[in-house]
Copies of this chain bind each other. A is one copy, B any other.
Amino acid sequence: MNTKITELLKIKYPIIQAGMVWVSGWKLASAVSNCGGLGLIGSGSMKPDLLREHIQKCKQATKNPFGVNIPLLRGDADELVKVTLEEEVKIVFTSAGHPKKYSQLLKENGVKLIHVVPSVKFALKAQEAGCDAVVGEGVEAGGHNGADEITTFALIPQLVDALEIPVIAAGGIADGRGILAALSLGASGVQIGTRFAATVESSAHENYKRRIVEAKDNDTVLAFAKIGLMRMLKNEFANKAIQAEREGWSEEKLKELLASKRERLGIFEGDEVEGAMEAGQGSGLIKDIPTVEVLFKRLLTEYKSALDRINSFEV
């Protein structure tokens, strides 16, 4: 396939695996890149030295392009950026913050910079900052979400109309139909999270993968509006978070309830009761835990059959 995003990133298919805490290390990222998509190492759950190790292993495991996702709100974002530059990673996805701080440095080093945005306003800022593309992420996505709660369906065409740079769609995409729909809305590529989290190569705990497979359409919730929205699977911890908001807890108390350990507990350690099991609304479409290779082929087959169906409606 040939879109502005395959050209920009020099990849075969415009399918990007989202950087996900405790999920996307070198194993997942290299497997996706080996299939002709773009794998991303999620540095959000890594110290700088661990990120370096993952980058080096990923280089060993694939000769195709891969990238690193860096959440800019991290206290040590400077060091994470430094490691990616030292290791000569040429694709960086940033999220949760303003990319302007690093854009000049990254671009001087020949890095393609792509920022994740939840609205037109932040997308225009990313474009001004010199980003090469944006990921427009709808509120159906798992994990952290923008405060405006704009959905993929509404967000993507508005980004496409507002921007000069290409748009990658994220949020709710879990099969080939979703890829076709995202491109139909004007996107030039897709970023897929939860679907890749439930693969053999994902480093998440088996309990977390199983919970995704079991989830129905209404099994995720948005919580923590006061301190930054997060979408996750329903469980006791999620209920506690919702209840805390209803009771009007302070930001401090909410931050204490969340703490960063919750993600590790849910996703990596598989605590189904007290862990934060971040996942998107597309979970209801996920019915198995395949290898990346099997999944990737299936996505392309589904895409082609959805396209054939569309073309059969004579216009």
Q: How far is the CB of A296 from chain B (nearest CB, A)?
A: 14
Contact between chains at A313 and B1 (CB < 8 Å): yes
Contacting residues, chain B, for A181 (C-beta < 8 A):
153, 181-182, 184-185
Is A284 located at the chain interface by the 8 A CB criterion?
yes
Q: Using C-beta atoms within 8 Å of the partner chain, give the interface range for chain A.
A: 35 or more
The one of B2, B119, B280, B303 that contacts A154, using a Cβ cutoff of 8 Å: B280
Contact between chains at B139 and A153 (CB < 8 Å): no
Contact between chains at A222 and B149 (CB < 8 Å): yes
Contact between chains at A310 and B183 (CB < 8 Å): yes
Q: How far is the CB of A26 from chain B (nearest CB, A)?
A: 29
A120-B216, A120-B217, A248-B248 known; A153 and B180 CB under 8 Å? no
Is A132 located at the chain interface by the 8 A CB criterion?
no
Q: What is the copy number of this chain in the assembly?
A: 2
Q: Which residue from chain B places its CB closest to the CB of A247 in the assembled complex?
A: B248
Q: Which residue from chain B places its CB closest to the CB of A171 in the assembled complex?
A: B153
Bound CA span A153–B152, Å: 7
Is A104 located at the chain interface by the 8 A CB criterion?
no
Q: Which residue from chain B places its CB closest to the CB of A153 in the assembled complex?
A: B172
Contact between chains at A217 and B119 (CB < 8 Å): yes
Q: How far is the CB of A282 from chain B (nearest CB, A)?
A: 5
Contacting residues, chain B, for A157 (C-beta < 8 A):
174-175, 177-178, 285
Contacting residues, chain B, for A121 (C-beta < 8 A):
218
Contact between chains at B217 and A158 (CB < 8 Å): yes
Mask for A128-147, Cβ within 8 A of B = 1, else 0? 00000000001110000000
Q: Which residue from chain B places its CB closest to the CB of A280 in the assembled complex?
A: B154
Mask for A218-261, Cβ within 8 A of B = 1, else 0? 10001000000000000000000000001010000000000000
Q: How far is the CB of A215 from chain B (nearest CB, A)?
A: 11
Bound CA span A260–B282, Å: 35
Q: Which of A176-208 contact B (CB under 8 A)?
A: 177-178, 180-186
The one of B171, B303, B309 that contacts A315, using a Cβ cutoff of 8 Å: B303
Bound CA span A207–B300, Å: 47
Bound CA span A248–B248, Å: 9
Bound CA span A194–B257, Å: 40
Contact between chains at B150 and A153 (CB < 8 Å): no
Q: How far is the CB of A118 from chain B (nearest CB, A)?
A: 9
Is A108 located at the chain interface by the 8 A CB criterion?
no
Is A265 located at the chain interface by the 8 A CB criterion?
no
